[in-house]
Structure 1
Amino acid sequence: MESSFAFSSSKAMGSSSFFLFWSPLLFSLIFISPIAIMTVQAFTGTYGINYGRIADNIPPPESVVTLLKAAKIKNVRIYDADHSVLKAFKGSGLEIVVGLGNEYLKDISVNEERAMDWVKENVEPFLPGTQIRGIAVGNEVLGGSDQDLWEALLGAVKNVYNVIERLHLTDVIQISSPHSEAVFANSFPPSSCVFKENILPYMKPLLEFFSQTGSPFFINAYPFLAYKNDPEHIDLNYALFLPNPGIHDQKTNIHYDNMFDAQLDAAYVALEDAGYGKMEVIVSETGWASHGDEDEAGATVKNARTYNYNLRKRLALKKGTPFRPKMVVKAYVFALFNENLKPGPTSERNFGLFKADGSISYDIGFTGLIPSSAASSLLSVKDIQARGWFGPYSMVLISCASLLLQILIS
Structure 2
Amino acid sequence: MRYIYVVDSAADDELGKVISKISPECLYSLIGGLKQKQFGIDTLCKEVSRINKFRSRIVIPSKGVQYMDSGGYSIIQGQVSPGSVRRFIKCYNAYVENEIDNYERVFSLDIPFSKKYSAINTVDAIYELNRESLSDLRELMVKYPDLRDKVYFVWHFKMNSQYGIWKKLYDELDLKSYIKNRAIGGMVGMREVTKKSFSPFTPMAYKCLIDFVQNNETEKEFSLHFLGMHINYDRFQIALLEKLFQNYLGDYVSVNMTYDSISYAQTARMGNSGPIYLDSNDANLWFGNVKDVPERILQSVYGDITPQILEEIRLRSCKQKLVNCNSFAPLFISSNINEDRVFERIIDKYEIAKIIVTSSSSSVVACKLRSILSEIEESYKSMFNREFLKSIAENIEATIVFDRWFRCSRDLIQLDELIKSFNSWHGFADLLK
Q: With structure 2 as the length reference, what TM-score do the two structures score?
A: 0.43
- Relative to its length, the structure with more helix (as a share) is 2
